Amino acid sequence: MRIAMIGTGYVGLVSGVCFSDFGHEIVCVDKLTAKVETLRAGGVPIYEPGLDEMLRRNVEAGRLSFTTDLAEAVKGAQAVFIAVGTPTRRGDGHADLTYVYAAARELADVIDPGTVVVTKSTVPVGTNREVARVIAERLAETGRDCPFEVASNPEFLREGAAIEDFMRPDRVVCGVDSEAAEQVMRDIYRPLSLREAPVMITSLESAEIIKYAANAFLATKITFINEIADLCEKVGGDVKAVAKGIGMDGRIGPKFLHAGPGYGGSCFPKDTSALARIGQDHSVPMRIVETVIDVNDRRKRRMVDKVLDLLGGKANGKKIAVLGVTFKPETDDMRDSPSLTIVPALVGGGAQVAVTDPEGRKEGEALLPGVTWEADAYAAAEGADAVLLLTEWNQFRALDLKRLKAGMRGDGFADLRNVYDPADVTEAGFRYVSIGRADAEPAPAAPAAEPVPVK
């Protein structure tokens, strides 16, 4: 099939590249000339493991191309995907649909009759019908006779594991309003049938809600275990044991039960906010979701206090080594990362902050002014009073703790991802704080042996 993908951001680029690997002919279109030129040359503007190799392979095979010309991209396409950004609208928390509707209006001038217009962007309930209205209105204005269909196909891609999620999905959700649209969507995803991936056909509205409901539920699991972690700290429990105990219940499951400094990224903050606003607009308040948003925001600020307590109550004059600033490992995404709350608070408190992150510097330099960037954890910790582990990159999971400690001035270690065993950290001479577990002090030095008298 020939498919056009409007937008080469995270969702559009990953989807376009993966569709081409299915064997479809994919044309990705973007208005940014420099970005298109980079993609044509085999460059990838985002960090996603394996994406660069897959992109180059399919470009060389002639199945994947990039253009700035919308008419060229959609000519002869059976389906056109809209995969543009829907950021949170400033001031009211709604998803900003400006780019979605602009793409729909432009499409009306160039699509062929029978084209299925598929919304891949995360959009509120009712958006797909509004996309259909916008296209129909523009067709009427121009006098074009061009029957078309609409469909909703929300994405469920985890940054850092997007290719695996696309190729081996838990499910594919397709919201349609006609048999013709359903058939096109089934044809697009037919290559997944060999892997027995379930393709779920729903109404447009159900597909739109599924996306928001899924992300809100996962955000709720994270926030729930974070509050349980706070309780564990007060009463002497171990949140890792608690999470394992409840996660073994098949009705709950172990995923997203990892206590930490709060969720971030491109999806959870934006989608929970949008779902809360959708509920308010329809007089169906999303009380649980609203609470999740509030608790998560407060949690990031509370992590600052945890670090300050480790430093004796103040950051002024102290050096802190921060390990990881992206919202999760295996991505360069900084959106709503806990580091954007925690690090500026430490800098504002007078701390000297040294940062290291395998992929975060490209975005982080602009977002985290006042910090210094180092090549690795040991360089960042040189002369530091404390180490703060914020993102659980593999590079930070097996540090030589004694080497790390030897280069420091102080002995603080704040592990906000519970990566390390407290006993291992304290054995290396650190004062250790983590999430949902008791703080730990280094063992006192053994008393020096009394000299043996010489006879």
In a domain, 446, yes or no: no
Cβ within 8 Å of residue 120, ≥6 positions away: 5, 11, 12, 15, 81, 82, 83, 153, 154, 155
Out of 258, 277, 294, a domain closes at 294
Classify strands 352-356 and 372-373 as parallel, antiparallel or unpaired.
Answer: parallel
Whether 131 and 78 map to the same domain: the answer is: yes
Whether 42 and 126 map to the same domain: the answer is: yes
Residues of the binding site for NAD(+): 30, 35, 86, 122, 159, 270, 335
Whether 56 and 141 map to the same domain: the answer is: yes
291: number of Cβ within 10 Å? 13
Whether 271 and 183 map to the same domain: the answer is: no
| Global pTM value | 0.91
Whether 375 and 428 map to the same domain: the answer is: yes
Q: E-strand spans in 120-263?
A: 149-152, 172-176, 199-202
Whether 124 and 233 map to the same domain: the answer is: no
Question: Per-10-residue mean pLDDT for the chain, 455 residues long?
Answer: 96 97 97 95 93 96 97 96 91 88 97 97 95 97 96 95 95 97 96 89 97 97 97 96 97 96 93 94 96 96 95 95 96 95 96 97 95 97 97 96 96 96 95 92 61 55
Beta-carbon-side half-sphere exposure of residue 84 (alpha carbons within 13 Å):
17
CATH code: domain of residue 261: 1.10.1040.10
CATH code: domain of residue 316: 3.40.50.720
Closest by CA to 266, choosing from 342, 304, 215, is 215
Question: So what's the pLDDT on residue 443?
Answer: 65
Out of 278, 294, 310, a domain closes at 294
Whether 75 and 55 map to the same domain: the answer is: yes
Asked if 123 and 83 touch (Cβ cutoff 8 Å), the reply is no
Catalytic pick among 28, 146, 232, 267:
267
Question: So what's the pLDDT on residue 444?
Answer: 66
Question: So what's the pLDDT on residue 451?
Answer: 55
Whether 276 and 352 map to the same domain: the answer is: no
Catalytic residue flag (residue 146): no
Cβ within 8 Å of residue 89, ≥6 positions away: 95, 96
CA angle 125, 129, 134 (to 5 degrees): 125
Q: Identify the helix (H) or strand (E) that includes residue 349.
A: none
Question: So what's the pLDDT on residue 454?
Answer: 54
Rounded distance, CA 29 to CA 66, Å?
6
Closest by CA to 322, choosing from 355, 289, 290, 344, is 355
Whether 59 and 158 map to the same domain: the answer is: yes
Domain hosting 149: range is 2-202
Question: So what's the pLDDT on residue 89?
Answer: 84
Helices and strands of the chain, counted as H and E runs: 17, 14
Say how many domains are in the chain.
3
Whether 166 and 226 map to the same domain: the answer is: no
Q: In angstroms, how far is CA 387 from the centroid of its own chain? A: 24
Residues of the binding site for substrate: 156-159, 211, 256-260, 264, 328
Q: 386 in helix, strand or coil?
A: strand
Q: 292 in helix, strand or coil?
A: helix
Residues of the binding site: 30, 35, 86, 122, 156-159, 211, 256-260, 264, 270, 328, 335
Rounded distance, CA 271 to CA 66, Å?
29
Q: In angstroms, how far is CA 249 from the centroid of its own chain? A: 26
Q: What token pair was written down for 14?
A: 């990953």
Question: So what's the pLDDT on residue 440?
Answer: 80
